[in-house]
Chains A and B, each alone.
Chain A
C-alpha cells in the first residue's frame, strides 16, 4: 500500500501530538501505580488470598486443639504462646507469592509491555513487592481476629501490638526478596511456589513456634537459635504478651531483616535484570 502522507511524526516536530510531559519523582509514582495494579489483581482474585486467610486459621485450629493440651497443659495457654508465631509463619509463607506472581507476569509478557514504556526498569519489580504488602495486612488481620474469637488476648497495650504488626511486616518485606530471587531463577511459576515453600518450611518450622527451644534436641536447638524466623517470633511474642523483654529479639529481628534486604535485594534485582 502506498501512502500520500505529507507530514510524518518523526520528520516534522509540529506533527507530534500532545503527549504528557514527564513529571518528577517518576520512580516513586510509577512503582506506586504498579503496586496498585498488584492490589487490584489481588482484589479481583480473592482465591489468591486463601493462604493468608484460611491457612492461618487451619494451623491455629490444628495446633491449639490437637496439640495444645499435650504441650502446654491448657489450650488457652498454648494459644497465647502459638498465635504470635503463627502470625510470623503466615507472613513468611505468604511472601513466596511475590516470586510466583513475578514469574507469571514475565512469562505472560506483561512485563514486556512495561519494559517498552519509558519507566525505570526496577519500577515493575518494586511495584510488585510493595503491592504484595497488602497480603501481609490481610494475614495479620485474619490471624489476630480469629485468635481473638477463640480466646487470644494481648498482655501488653495496643501500641506494642501495632509495633509487633509493623515489625512482622518489615520482616516479611525483607524476606520477600528471597522469593523474588527464586521467581527470577526458575522457569515456571509452579516451580517458584514449590521452591519457595521448600525454603520456608525449615525456616518457619525450625523455630520455637510450637514448643520452647530447650525441649528440642541439641542439633535442632543450634539451628533454631540462629534462625532469623525464631527471633521474629520471639519478638512478636514479647511485644504481644509482655514477657520476656522485647528489646533483644526486636533488635535481632531488625538486624536480620537488614541483612536479608542487603543480601537478597541486590541479588534479586540483578537476576531480574538478567531475566528481563
Chain B
C-alpha cells in the first residue's frame, strides 16, 4: 500500500541553522503519525515542506504519490493544514472565513455556504459564526482554524501542535476531532511536544530532535523503550508516606522516589500495576489526595533515548 505522505532524507537549512538534517517520515493511509519533539526540533519545517509551503534543500517528499516540489497543485488538492499559529483572518467573521475558503476550493455560492455552516455547527461555532474572529477566544480560533483546513474534505491533514496553549477541556475536544477524522479515513500528521498526546492519538510516533529522527515506533514500543509509566501517589496524611513507599516498592520491585514533598513515584511496566496499587492502599486503609498513572515527560523520553537531558541543556 502506498503511503499517504512520505518524507525521505529531508534537509532544510536557514543560513547556518540546520532545521532538518535528513528526516524520514511515513504516514500510512487512514492512520495518525505523531511527530514528537521539543521546540526547535524541526517539526514545523517538516510540516511546511509536506504542505508545499517550503522547498526542501535536500531529500524529497510526496503526498498521495505526488511530489511536493514537482506537483504542488495536485498535492494541495489532497491536503488540509492547521498551522501552529491560527491562520484565520481576524477581521472577517468565522462564516466569512470558511465561505472564502469554500469559494477558493471552487464550491458554488450556495454549496459553499452550506459547507461553511455545516463546519461551524460541527465545531460548535454556530453562535459565534457571525462575529469577527478577533473577538474569539484562543480555543475558538483553534477550532475555526481546524474547520478551515477541513472545508475541502482533504485526505491528508497536518496538525502542527494543535493543542499547545489550550486548557485540558479544549484539548480533549481537539483529540476527539482528530479521532473522528481518522474514522472517516483521513490520514493525519500530528506534531506535539507531549508524549501523552502522541500516545493518545498516534498509531506510530517519530521522535525528532535537532532535525533528526532519533526514534520511531508504536506508542507501546516507545513507552517500552523509555521505561513505561510512572505511578504517582500523594497520601492525604504525610504520616503514611513510609507505608505507601513500602507498597510501591513491593509492586514495582524498585524503591519509590519522592520528586516533591509528600509525593511518591515509582516506574511500572503495565497498566495493571495501578490496580494493584489501588487495592493495596485500600486494604491498608490509606486515604490518598492524588493517585495517577503518568507517562514520562518529553525530557524523560529524551533522557532514555540519548542519555542526556536535552531540554535542560537547551534551556541553560
- List chain A positions with a Cβ less than 8 A from chain B: 1-3, 5, 7-12, 15-17, 19-23, 26, 29-30, 33-34, 36-37, 40-41, 44-45, 108-110, 112-119, 123, 276
Contacts and interface: CB of A to CB of B under 8 A. Distances in A.
B29 A10 contact: yes
8 contacts: A5-B185, A8-B30, A33-B100, A44-B92, A110-B88, A113-B87, A118-B76, A118-B77
A109 B92 contact: no
Contacts of A34: 100, 104
B241 interface: no
A119 B80 CA distance: 13
B129 to A, nearest CB: 15
A45 B51 CA distance: 32
B171 interface: no
B153 interface: yes
B106 A23 contact: yes
Contacts of A110: 87-89
Contacts of B86: 109
Nearest to A107: B85
B57 interface: no
Given A9-B187, A33-B103, A118-B73, A17 B153 contact: yes
A8 B184 CA distance: 8
A83 to B, nearest CB: 32
B88 A7 contact: no
B185 A22 contact: no
A20 B111 contact: yes
A148 to B, nearest CB: 32
B124 interface: no
B124 to A, nearest CB: 21
Contacts of B297: none
A90 to B, nearest CB: 23
Nearest to A114: B104
Contacts of A7: 30, 185
Interface centre among B91, B105, B149, B187 (most CB of A within 10 A): B91
Interface string B158-195: 00000000000000000000010011011100000000
Contacts of B87: 108-110, 112-113
Contact of A11 (B1, B53, B105, B108): B1
Contacts of B132: 44
Nearest to A112: B87
Interface residues of B, number: 55
Contacts of B48: 112
B202 interface: yes
Contact of B104 (A3, A45, A119): A119
Contact of B85 (A21, A23, A109): A109
A239 B281 CA distance: 94
Nearest to B103: A33
Contacts of B231: none
Contacts of B83: 109, 112-113
Interface centre among A2, A11, A114, A118 (most CB of B within 10 A): A118
A116 B48 CA distance: 9
B179 A1 contact: yes
A122 to B, nearest CB: 13
B104 A33 contact: yes
B93 to A, nearest CB: 8
Nearest to B179: A1
B32 interface: yes
A15 B30 CA distance: 11
Interface string B19-56: 00000000001111000000000000000100111000
Contacts of A40: 91-92, 96
B29 A8 contact: yes
A276 B87 CA distance: 14
Interface string B184-218: 01110000000000001111000000000000000
A269 B71 CA distance: 21
A33 B80 CA distance: 20
B106 A5 contact: no
Contact of B53 (A3, A30, A116, A119): A116
A1 B200 contact: yes
